[in-house]
Amino acid sequence: MASFILRKAEPKDVSDILRLIKELAKFEEMEEKVMLSEKELLEDGFGEHPFYHCLVAEVPKEQSSDDYSVIGFAMYYFTYDPWIGKLLYLEDFYVMQDFRGLGIGSRILKVLSETAVKTRCSAMHFIVAENNTKSIEFYKRKGAADLSLEEGWRLFEIEKQELLKMTAK
Amino acid sequence: MKFKIRPATKEDCKEISRMIMELAVFEKMPDQVKITHEDLERDGFCQNPFFECLVAEVPEEHKSTEGFTVVGYGLYFYNYSTWEGRTVYLEDLYVMPEFRGNGIGKGLLSKVAQVGKKKRCVRLNLSVLDWNAPARDFYIAKGARDLTDSEGWHFIRFDGQNLDNLANEAPED
């Protein structure tokens, strides 16, 4: 029976976090889209004004075949809704394939929800791709609301090229 | 019409609160506004603020029929993409109806983009309600893409009892 711990990420974890980010991107067939470096992760997560917070899941070295003990992570940050105030936004949530089915994902979700409640957040938000029906069903079973369906919210993006055009005027 | 766009101060929170309510009325959800200007003052002007805000101001001689000179706002904060790093999220963009057509909306959007650029953000995200055609057209004209359309992203929310339930369940250690 595998044991694991969940803890707050530390600066020494950035290379593992980047490895897991790339693994998840590879699974989504978007590995070449990961532009982030360890240096940026370090500066942005552990500087004076962190842009993100991270939980990591760790197993004892003996249980991991490839010398990796950090086998899952969840990255989140706080956002703001002008109607209800602080929210916890879950950006990425991943457990290595070999370590699934052990309750790590559920435990991560539980710790995040506790964090949200403790820090006075009114809700936890995240996005899911609509073809990821497994995840959507999982979240719906846990009581999540699909705001795109229920309220008609659509996610828009303005990329750097277009931002630069705007700032040049 | 002359106008100025500047960072909001704590004192602007009453005006921002007023306009948040105006926007909520427009979005047909006014009873969903639960926070007050005091919450804005606490959350936007603390050590590590949870949002930043720009306001659009007109001179006295152009004040609104009710006497307001702060006539628009853009409320935003920073997100983080595991692929690209820092991004800026524009949560609210609003200009009072009687002041539209003067470039204030464009000014607010550009200023948020400029702030984001200074902070090395690689993109700007926002959400629009599917029936809000003028807003969708406005952002698309500025080069935005609808990711819900092109990539099928859906917004998911856990709140209230469901959030509490989630926090209480799951296997014991």
Confidence category of residue A71, pLDDT binned at 50, 70, 90: very high
Which residue in this structure is represented by tokens 């609160």?
Answer: B17
| Contact yes or no for B78 and A51 at CB 8 A | yes
Is the model's pLDDT at A20 over the cut of 60?
Answer: yes
Q: DSSP characters for chain A?
A: ----EEEE--GGGHHHHHHHHHHHHHHTT-GGG----HHHHHHHHHSSS-S-EEEEEE--GGG-TTS--EEEEEEEEEEEETTTEEEEEEEEEEE-GGGTTSSHHHHHHHHHHHHHHHTT-SEEEEEEETT-HHHHHHHHHTT-EEHHHHH-EEEEEEEHHHHHHHHH-
Quick check: helix, strand or coil at residue B90? Answer: strand
- What predicted TM-score, i.e. pTM, was given to this entire model? 0.82
Residue type for position A59: V
Dihedral of CA B136/B137/B138/B140: which sign? positive
Which residue in this structure is represented by tokens 């964090």?
Answer: A115
Instruction: Tell me which of A3-7, A161-165, B47-51, B74-78 is least confident.
Output: A161-165
What is chain A's alpha carbon radius of gyration, rounded to the nearest angstrom?
17
Question: Alpha-carbon dihedral of residues A71, A8, A31, A66, nearest 10 degrees?
Answer: -20
Q: Shortest CB distance from B162 goes to which of A103, A114, A143?
A: A143
How long, in residues, is chain A? 169
Residue type for position A8: K
* pLDDT computed for residue A150 by the predictor: 75
| Contact yes or no for A145 and B158 at CB 8 A | yes
- Each residue of B103-135: pLDDT tens digit? 999 999 988 988 888 898 888 888 888 888 888
Residues of A tagged active-site: 139
Please name which of B97, B105, B120, B130 lies closest in space to residue B54, comparing C-alpha atoms. B105
Is the model's pLDDT at A64 over the cut of 70?
Answer: no
Mean pLDDT of the region A35-54: 94
Contacts of residue A158 in chain B, CB cutoff 8 Å? 113, 123-126, 139, 142-145
Q: Mutate which of B158, B172, B173 to test chain A, going by most A C-beta atoms within 10 A?
A: B158
N- to C-terminal Cα separation, chain A: 61
Q: How far is A42 from chain B (nearest CA, A)?
A: 11
N- to C-terminal Cα separation, chain B: 63
Confidence category of residue B171, pLDDT binned at 50, 70, 90: very low
Mean pLDDT of the region B162-168: 61
- Each residue of B25-77: pLDDT tens digit? 988 889 999 999 999 999 999 988 999 999 999 999 999 999 999 999 999 99
Is the model's pLDDT at B151 over the cut of 70?
Answer: yes
Residue type for position B47: Q
A26 touches chain B (CB under 8 A): no
A164 touches chain B (CB under 8 A): yes
* pLDDT computed for residue B160 by the predictor: 59
Is the model's pLDDT at B172 over the cut of 60?
Answer: no
Is the model's pLDDT at A41 over the cut of 90?
Answer: yes
Confidence category of residue A122, pLDDT binned at 50, 70, 90: confident
* pLDDT computed for residue A168 by the predictor: 61
Residues 102-131 of A with CB under 8 A from B: 103, 106-107, 109-110, 113-114, 116-117, 122-131
* pLDDT computed for residue B170 by the predictor: 42
Contacts of residue B24 in chain A, CB cutoff 8 Å? 83
Is the model's pLDDT at B86 over the cut of 70?
Answer: yes
DSSP structural state of residue A13: G
Is the model's pLDDT at B165 over the cut of 70?
Answer: no
Specify whether the CB–CB gap between B77 and A80 falls below 8 A.
yes
Supply the mean pLDDT for chain A. 85
Q: Mutate which of B35, B154, B161 to test chain A, going by most A C-beta atoms within 10 A?
A: B154
In this structure, what token pair is assigned to residue A44? 């942005």
As a whole number of angstroms, the longest Cα–Cα distance in chain B is: 66
A30 touches chain B (CB under 8 A): yes
Quick check: helix, strand or coil at residue B103? Answer: coil
Phi, psi of B102 (to 5 degrees): -115, 10
Confidence category of residue A163, pLDDT binned at 50, 70, 90: low
* pLDDT computed for residue A131 by the predictor: 79
Highest mean pLDDT: which range of A118-122, A124-128, B86-90: B86-90
* pLDDT computed for residue A113 by the predictor: 85
A62 touches chain B (CB under 8 A): no
Residue of A nearest to B114 (CA): A167
Q: Mutate which of A32, A156, A161, A164 to test chain B, going by most B C-beta atoms within 10 A?
A: A156
Phi, psi of A2 (to 5 degrees): -70, 140
* pLDDT computed for residue B79 by the predictor: 92
Interface pTM, i.e. ipTM: 0.79
A168 touches chain B (CB under 8 A): no
Q: Shortest CB distance from B145 goes to which of A116, A157, A167?
A: A157
